[in-house]
Chain A
Amino acid sequence: MIVGNRKPLEEILEMVRPYKKILLLGCRECITVCAAGGEKEVGVLASELKLHRAKNGEEIEIREHTLERQCDYEYVDQIQPFVDDYEVIVSMACGAGIQYTAERYPKKLVLPAINTTFLGVTLEQGLWSERCQGCGDCILHLTGGICPVARCAKSLFNGPCGGSSNGVCEVDKDTPCAWQLIIDRLKELGQMENYEKIIEVKDWSSARDGGPRTRIREDMRLT
């Protein structure tokens, strides 16, 4: 899923300072699962904003609304009937959702309440961890199912570097060394011959470096 963090209240307060009528827009997809911008978090942020304004004797009107998805026009268009009742939309979706909402309502200011961080997994209740950087050219079959691009601090293709110590990355004592994980898994799978091979220079053009990406399935298109 896409994982994000809600921005600090002070930052959001500063962004919405000029506005009295706010549409606070959550999303029921990934950002709900990682407990950052779902219906519940929309409710919490709305209360915090109202409380702050009330303390200062300032007016505010907030409509709380959570869409099925903010990355799909079908759902984003559902706010059409009432979007003009508000000066500003504060989106609690991921960066894709925030932008798509802005794209569908070009005359409306859309403000981000979420810092989008990574593609990851839930390790345990309240703990998420990065797994993928969407480089567009997967090599997990060579590395025991562990991605060196996303999980090594240096994205080394032929690690580990000299900073791997007791299975831990030199950058952070709570981060496992991706290459230690890869080697352990290759051993378990009886695939250490993979480790002996040099992984050649990567073609990054399939990643962000090649420019913004689109995906087309001609067989699905209507036009």
Chain B
Amino acid sequence: MKTKSNIERLLEKGEFVVTSECGPPRGADAEAVRKKGSLLKDLVDGVNVTDNQTSVVRMSSLASSVILKEMGFDPIWQMVCRDRNRIAIQSDLLGAAALGINNVLCLSGDHQSFGDNPKAKNVYDIDSIQLIQTVKMLRDEGRFLSGEEVKGAPALFIGAAENPFADPFEIRAIRLGKKVKAGADFIQTQCIYNVEKFAKWMDMVRERGLHGQVAILAGVTPLKSAGMAKYMKKNVPGMDVPDSLIERLGAVPKENQAEEGIKICVEMIQQLRNIEGVRGVHIMAIEWEEKVAEIVKAAGLSPRPKA
């Protein structure tokens, strides 16, 4: 074991891992974090804490991670390259490890033009792959990017994201390979609606032997309505929502569409679980965390192994 991460421990034991997400609040209220966290209690092996997602200012991901850690979670602290240079990044990595954070998810971050501060300057001193390299260098070589020695290396389990549906499709497995080479221990994917295309990506991943080198957690997000499905298909870049799904949701009365969305999500988890190389599922029920319990139970993933 490289770290004290709960998901690392479970992956090593060959368990099918379940993670979910907890977006920090737009204010300084710690209770808001705890309230959201309580909806996920005992349901997941790790909880992602987003870093100013969609470039909207929120409570810091590290502070929120610590609050969730105090509740007994093993947070997967997300860090984006948009807002910090290599000095702040390395400093935060040390600080997080000192506060007992065991997992870091390395991301580029959404462009600031999507958020509430489109006039901001972005940083991008390093990119997400270089961030993975940085964490690995600190952890495994005990050296900073400057080459100098780290006194007390941060034991962080290194995660990265990959979107199997972004373009160009043919390089998506190659790019995953770069993340593995850089030092990623686990991957959480963008939410999957097109299982067939995801399976094709996994074929490419296995052809390169990457499934043996990195734990892939398949991302899912339950759909609340046919309208939401349509919106995501049309407006979210790199999102692949097949028409058949939109039709299936549209075929049931509006008041039952949310229920149907949950059903689809559970079916999808079962399909994804059967794909060789998928080691877990990442359930992103954004502002719908109360449904995670239902999904986890219906998918037969409850109870979670004890820490």
Contact = CB atoms under 8 A, between A and B. Distances in A.
A196 B175 CA distance: 8
A170 B125 contact: no
A162 B133 contact: no
Task: Report the 8 A-B pairs with minimum CB-CB distance, sorted nearest first.
Answer: A162-B163, A170-B237, A158-B129, A165-B237, A156-B127, A163-B237, A162-B166, A162-B238
Contacts of A171: 111, 113
Contacts of B190: 162
Interface of B: 81-82, 86, 108-111, 113-114, 122, 124-130, 133-134, 145, 161-163, 166-168, 171, 174-175, 177-178, 181-182, 190, 237-238
A178 B40 CA distance: 39
Contacts of B181: 198
B168 A198 contact: no
B167 A164 contact: yes
A36 interface: no
Given A183-B168, A196-B174, A201 B133 contact: yes
Nearest to A161: B108
Nearest to B240: A165
Given A155-B124, A171-B113, A180-B168, 15 more contacts: A156-B127, A156-B128, A157-B130, A160-B171, A161-B108, A165-B166, A168-B237, A177-B167, A184-B168, A198-B129, A198-B130, A200-B133, A201-B126, A201-B130, A204-B125
Interface of A: 153-168, 170-171, 177, 180, 183-184, 195-196, 198, 200-202, 204
Contact of B167 (A167, A202, A204): A167
B86 A201 contact: yes
Contacts of A184: 168
Q: Which of B122, B181, B238 gathers the greatest number of chain A CB atoms within 10 Å? A: B238
B130 A183 contact: no
A183 B162 CA distance: 18
A163 B125 contact: no
Contacts of A195: 171, 174
Contacts of B109: 154
B182 A198 contact: yes
B145 A156 contact: no
